[in-house]
Structure 1
Amino acid sequence: MGYLDQLRSRFRREHVSLDLDQIQALILRARPEPYVGLHAMLRVDEAAGGRDVIARIAQHVPSAQDWAQDRDAWVGVAISHAGLRALAVPEESLATFPLPFQQGMAARAEQLRDVGENAPETWEEVFGDDGCHVAVTIYAVGQPELRAAREQALATLDDAVGVTLLGVHEFGVDEEAANPFGYRDSIAQPTVAGSGVVPVPGQERAIAAGEFVLGEDSETGAPVAMPSPDILGRNGSFVVVRKYQSRVGAWNDFLRDSGSTVDEQDLLGAKMVGRWRSGAPLVLAPEADDPALGADPERNDDFGYADDAHGLACPYSAHSRRMNPRDGELTILTDVNLHRIIRRSSTFGPAWRRDLTAADDAAEDRGIFFIFISARAYDTIEFLQQEWINRGNFIDLGDERDPVVGVHEAPGNFTIPDEPVRRRVSGVSTFNRLRGGEYMFMPSLPALEWIGRAGWLEQHAPSTSTA
């Protein structure tokens, strides 16, 4: 059974309570494996022309309603706050969005700990000066399907007026679905209550829909604050986009310097990630990789950390354990369900190779677009960056940072619990360098149509009635 077939087999129409026909498919529908795709970045130079482009692209954006239907490619659209303003959305509506979204990612560098080589002044030009107004993402099962979807969705730009295509970045991975470092990616995804999808083994329960879809009740029992008017905010969500350049050669060099054999190097890498390259979790495969386990969606996420309280199988500071502590005990108590995210990350560049060195990093462009969706996206990313990624107090490790995505202005450490005494590996550097990013809003399909036709003007249009 293929990956998309497995997803469709978990869908139960009788369990649906959300307005699937109004929600962009990309919010609730996982990408295929393998996958190819592209991110197109647009700037709106003239409001009417920009709205026309939004209206035409929106015709090619599928809804989550077709989860169980055959579809080989789909399109998603997200808009920044600067983009909404450039589209002439009224200021009274713009003011109802969360403050971080209004300010934009670059202005939130302090809260995000984007300093040093990750600071906004080092970012790629496309992410500077509020330039990225609209992001169009296409995922497809193969290159022919991607070409067809691209021709449909982006053909509108051929005769567009008032919109500039800033750039197109293609991405894709093979059936192993590996990230730039060669590890299977995006395994642990939350199940959204009311979406009709049955949780896989290892997922205790579905997460309240309002954690991901605006207008629905969240884990607190009430909806998260929603932009107004209702047609603009309801059934939309917020998106964090962060583009990283991955220093895969430097990662390989670090493992080689820290382990005398390939097995030792692979074990250290797994300890830092929390999973083996196949995706097999350390808690279930502590001694050696288990590719069959890693490839099995019924088993590869069916675990917790309660039975690994001392971190002997998976270290507390491992990337995957930091980003999803599950049932593990934390020094600083946190409701992990309030920080769950839907990940839509996309890997680009040549596949990982063991022979790569730091000297190769400048010659070959590899990386990942870290993309996630959440109704609390901005609070969540800033919390993650401040507490779980760039600090270690919540796991009694002081200032020890995430070994994979943490910012290490000076060489850092990685602690591996062991008996009779823990082991500390030094020399951890910034293996993923931030090249830019933005806070985005993913409107519902009715909201895209409302933006495209300037629906706010209709409220003030003079009546033509002759009654």
Structure 2
Amino acid sequence: MSAYLNDVADPRAPDLQFDDIQGLILRGYNFDYIRYLIFTIDANNVAGARELLAELMPGSGSSLTITSAAPWPNGVKPAYCLNVGLTSFGFRLLVAADNYTTVKNASFPLFSLYDGGAAVNAAAVGDIDDSAPGSWWKRSGGWSLPANPKPDGSDLHIQITIYTQSNPKREKYCDELMAMIPVKDNVPALTLAFSKDSNPLLTGQNYIHFGYKDSFSQPRLSKVPWNTKKQRMLLGVSTIDDRPIVPPYHFVITKKYNDGKTTVPNYRAHPLVLNGSFAAFRLLYQDVKAFNKFINKTPGVSPNLVAAKLCGRWFDGTPLVVSPNGPDPKLKDFDYTNFNYLHKTPNQQGDMTTDALGARCPYAAHIRRTNPRDDNMVTGNQNNPDGTPNYAESRRIMRRAGAYGPDYEEGKNEDAQRGLVGLFICANLASQFQFIMQNWIIRNSFRQPDASPNSSGFDPLFGPPNNTIQAYNEFDYMGTGPTYEQIDGLERFVRTDGGLYLFLPGIEALKKISQGKIS
């Protein structure tokens, strides 16, 4: 067994400066009512934007401040959490072009995608056709500016997220934030360009519009106090977590790996970037009507089974490799995440043999493509220094996203804007977020060998961008025998309606940025 499969200790991971890291990077807040706000900075009042950031600094005495990753006193949730991300366009305005260029040039591997922005890089992650940037923002509702969005995203500068436990509190804290924005000559330093709320669905907490329960498999971080066995027991989680540890340096840019000597990960970053992270902000429309039509189109085949094969889980979250014939109501806590595809984990439930052929969970299934676990036959797999597979560890992303829009009701408001909104956090956008999208989500033959008739096609929840190619216009999964079942007519169930690449600075870095400085 790899030395890296342990509870908390990890010889590679440096101790973290929790009070200098934004909180959402390392922990899920589990607040139900969230508001995502995107602002544009008035070029004539950049000083006002800096002033707002200074007011939001922890310890500033303001009524509303940024939430760090420092443990909550006595484990009690605060009344709200707030976090800030900067687009490259906003970062450049706040510190001035020359300073921005200095940071960029000193951090080029990390800035290679961030600098141009999500719109410029859209095609590389499959955002083409209906998902292309020319159609972003306005069609989803929430666009506030009188002018149309700029195609390159250069009018979007600061993204702020407010997390609360009720809608009235969300309104309260949002009003407080807006009141904090400095005004000069009757013009606010920041103008709200776009907003979107995330609320729990009637189906239940952590469900998405397609009907699946979600948010099971966040990366399991080492050296964070809320990831210890003692803390899990205090929260009432009695099962053991079998998942391999993912070092926090895949999400937080830490000083230890910025010395130019180490090879993994060796960020080569400017000091201002330390204790920060990068994120892809994604606004993803979900076409529930088309999804339901597809899973119901095969006579004699249960739509629940088709949906499970598409995702890799039954609607309640039961993994197919744990229970291939239906949901297992006996599962709890880590039973939903303790599973591999090739070799059973110590506490994996169910009578599992290897699923190397994808008989239980298809190679194409969404969760297998986004987190291949112990299947080291996928593109881009790497090994740990001791030679053991790292289970795609270096490709993981931290997902902080939830549902937006009204619940789906057949025959009613079927075409309403609904989907998923939030941040996908990592240390390196190119080797983590873009790699997953480009190599596992939107390409076939992402795993070798692959005996399926269409080499697994595209991720079936995202669907093919071009349905004129027959190999992409179908979903194949292994039936009860050694043959494949084929469902034609696969289409795009997810459409990108907005995207940003964000830098989530550390607290000290934000303080410097609020002064227009980089050192």
- The TM-score range, normalised by the shorter chain, is 0.7 to 0.9
1:182 alignment partner AA: G
Aligned residue among 310, 323, 327 for 1:285: 323
The TM-score with structure 2 as length reference comes to: 0.78
1:377 and 2:429 matched:
yes
> SS of the counterpart of 1:315?
coil
Match of 1:465 in 2: none
Query: How many residue pairs end up in the alignment?
Result: 435
2:42 is aligned with 1:56: no
* 1:28 aligns with one of 23, 26, 29: 26
Distance 1:226 1:140 in 2: 36
Deviation at 1:333, TM superposition (A): 5.2
Which residue of structure 1 lines up, in the alignment, with residue 474 of structure 2?
A: 413
Identity among equivalent pairs (%): 28
Q: CA shift at 1:441, angstroms?
A: 0.3
> TM-score scaled to structure 1, two decimals?
0.86
- 1:192 is displaced (CA, Å) by 1.9
CA deviation profile, 1:84-127 (whole Å, cap 9, x unmatched):
11213413124334111111111112322322111222222557
Name the CA shift for 1:249/1:107 in 2 (closer, same or farther; >3 Å): same
Encode CA deviations 1:231-253: one digit per residue, 9 max, x unaligned.
Answer: x2111000011211110111111
Match of 1:400 among 452, 457, 463: 457
Alignment of 1:44-443 (within 5 A): 44-46=41-43, 47-59=46-58, 60-67=65-72, 68-89=75-96, 90=99, 91-97=101-107, 98-124=111-137, 125-126=148-149, 128-129=151-152, 130-157=154-181, 159=183, 161-174=188-201, 175-196=204-225, 197-198=227-228, 201-216=240-255, 222-228=264-270, 230=271, 232-260=272-300, 264-291=302-329, 293=331, 296-306=332-342, 307-330=354-377, 332=379, 334-335=381-382, 336-353=392-409, 355=410, 360-362=413-415, 364-395=416-447, 396=450, 397-398=454-455, 400-410=457-467, 412-418=473-479, 419-443=481-505
Amino acid at match of 1:268: V
Look up the equivalent residue of 2:442 and give its one-letter code: N
Give the deviation of 1:195 after TM superposition.
Answer: 1.9
**Alpha-carbon offset, residue 182 of structure 1:** 1.5
CA contact (8 A) 1:216 1:223 kept: no
What does residue 463 of structure 1 align with?
Answer: none
- 8 Å Cα contact 1:304-1:326 kept in structure 2: yes
Point out where structure 2 has 5 or more consecutive residues left out of the alignment.
Answer: 1-6, 59-64, 138-147, 230-238, 343-353, 383-391
Mapped to 2, the partners of 1:245 and 1:216 lie a distance apart of 38
Amino acid paired to 1:176: Q
- The structure-2 alpha-carbon separation of the partners of 1:404 and 1:201, relative to structure 1 and needing over 3 Å to count, comes to farther
CA apart distance, 1:222: 3.8
In structure 1, give the amino acid aligned to 2:166. G
**CA displacement 1:175-205 (0-9 Å, x = unmatched):** 4311121211121011222222237745433
Please give the per-residue CA displacement for 1:325-383, whole angstroms capped at 9, x wherever unaligned. 10124254513111011100121012244x359xx543x11011252111022332221
Q: Measured at CA, do residues 424 and 250 of structure 1 come closer, stay the same or move farther in structure 2, by a change above 3 Å?
A: same
Pick closer, same or farther for the CA change 1:331–1:375 going to 2, 3 Å: closer
The structure where helix makes up a greater share of residues is 1
Residue 65 of structure 1 aligns to a residue whose secondary structure is: coil
Query: What is the distance in 1 between the residues matched to 2:54 and 2:458?
Result: 44
Q: Are the aligned partners of 1:191 and 1:206 in contact in 2 as well (CA < 8 Å)?
A: yes
Q: Which moved more, 1:439-448 or 1:394-403?
A: 394-403
Distance 1:385 1:88 in 2: 31
Name the aligned partner's letter for residue 274 of structure 1.
G
CA-atom RMSD in angstroms? 2.6
Answer whether contact 1:41 1:132 (CA < 8 A) is retained. yes
- Cα pair distance change 1:139/1:320, threshold 3 Å: same
1:299 alignment partner, SS class: helix
Deviation, 1:22, is 0.8
**2:345 matched to which residue of 1?**
none
* C-alpha deviation, 1:44, in angstroms: 1.1
Structure 1 gaps of 5+ residues are 1-9, 460-467
- Supply the distance in 2 between the matched residues of 1:176 and 1:75 (Cα, whole angstroms): 21
Contact 1:215–1:224, Cα closer than 8 Å, also in 2: no
The answer for the alignment partner of 1:450 in structure 2 is 512
Partner of 1:280, secondary structure, is: coil
Give the whole-Å Cα distance in 2 for the aligned partners of 1:247 and 1:436.
16
Mapped partners of 1:203, 1:309: distance in 2? 20
Aligned 8 A contact 1:32 1:140 in 2: no
Q: Quote the offset at 1:292 in angstroms.
A: 5.0
Moved more, 328-337 or 432-441: 328-337
| Structure 2 counterpart of 1:5 | none
Give the distance between the partners of 1:73 and 1:224, measured in 2 at CA. Answer: 35
